[in-house]
A = this chain, B = another copy of it.
């Protein structure tokens, strides 16, 4: 599995955050006790956009703090939610009085802690929330369940909300745009090798050489099915993209944004081949692949695999997607 570059387990995330200031101190600042990351140059007089969640998914979320995207990111420990007090402190630090939009991936701990933070501030701050629940693999007919997981569509949500805030949109509008992205997005992922958790040294599951875990999330959980597909990239991509097209009800001519996301240890050559195959597949369906984001943006430690996110575009989303952005991971 190989060594993980860190010192003591207890301070891995803390030290990585300090390291982010070393690499990107021109863009971001680390606040300690409680820990959160803000822009180096605070925005003035615009709605604040805040996200966060467990670490181990870098560059998500800290790598997306900067002009045109997040105003703050609140990291928890590896695969663990940040506390409500961290989230509250981050909002207090960056809300300029125009209100805050909290972008929350749909996990029990995140939903709980971000909601408590919003409640704690309800008398003094306007805090609106956007819940990201894009992972098709966790769709269920069951009522009252936890709902779908939040995965790579969160990057699109953060970009669109950040651009809207930068353009001066009011807090309700930024929230509604975020919810619009979520309602028009879906994601599926697959893994060829599970991640190794640096805190335990354990790989979260084992696969045979010819096996692929289909429908994985980003926390080392098994997917919905273990498959033995052909080795062809074309087949792998189609198995992810086809259910997305169906779930989103994308008809011929529909303009689409695709995120071809490396889950940790997937090489650039692989993601490029996947992007090519995705374009072929979508064009074969009569869809227009108008925007792409290809790279490791929402990782699951050193998992080998990829996810594909599709978002149904329109002119409004196109324009916000194209707006300038300047963060450590997306420029």
Question: Does B234 contact A22, Cβ atoms closer than 8 Å?
Answer: no
- For the complex, what is the distance from the CA of A331 to the CA of B268, rounded to whole Å? 17
Q: When the two chains form their complex, are residues B22 and A275 in contact, meaning their CB atoms are under 8 A apart?
A: yes
Residue A12 lies at the interface, judged by CB distance under 8 Å to chain B: yes
When C-beta atoms are compared, the residue in chain B nearest to A235 turns out to be B7
Interface size class of A (residues with CB under 8 A): 35 or more
Stretch at the interface among A166-174, A249-257, A297-305: A297-305
Contact with B along A295-316 (1 / 0, CB 8 A): 1100101101110000000000
Binds B, one of A91-99, A102-110, A126-134, A259-267: A259-267
A237 to B33, CA, bound (A): 27
B4 and A272 form a contact (CB under 8 A): no
Asked whether A238 is an interface residue with its Cβ less than 8 Å from the other chain, the reply is: no
> Contacts of A112 on B, CB cut-off 8 Å?
none
Among A54-62, A138-146, A149-157, A180-188, the one that faces the other chain is: A54-62
Report chain B residues within 8 Å CB of A294: 19, 22-24
Proximity bits, A209-249, B CB within 8 Å = 1, else 0? 11010000000000000000001111010000000000000
B193 touching A269, Cβ below 8 Å: no
A11 to chain B, nearest CB (A): 9
For the complex of A and B, the 7 pairs showing the least CB-CB separation, nearest first, are A19-B272, A58-B268, A265-B265, A2-B193, A2-B192, A5-B270, A23-B294
A-B contact pairs, 21 of them (CB 8 A): A3-B210, A3-B212, A4-B270, A5-B233, A5-B236, A5-B266, A5-B270, A5-B306, A6-B233, A7-B232, A7-B233, A7-B234, A15-B273, A16-B268, A16-B270, A19-B272, A22-B289, A22-B294, A23-B271, A23-B293, A265-B302
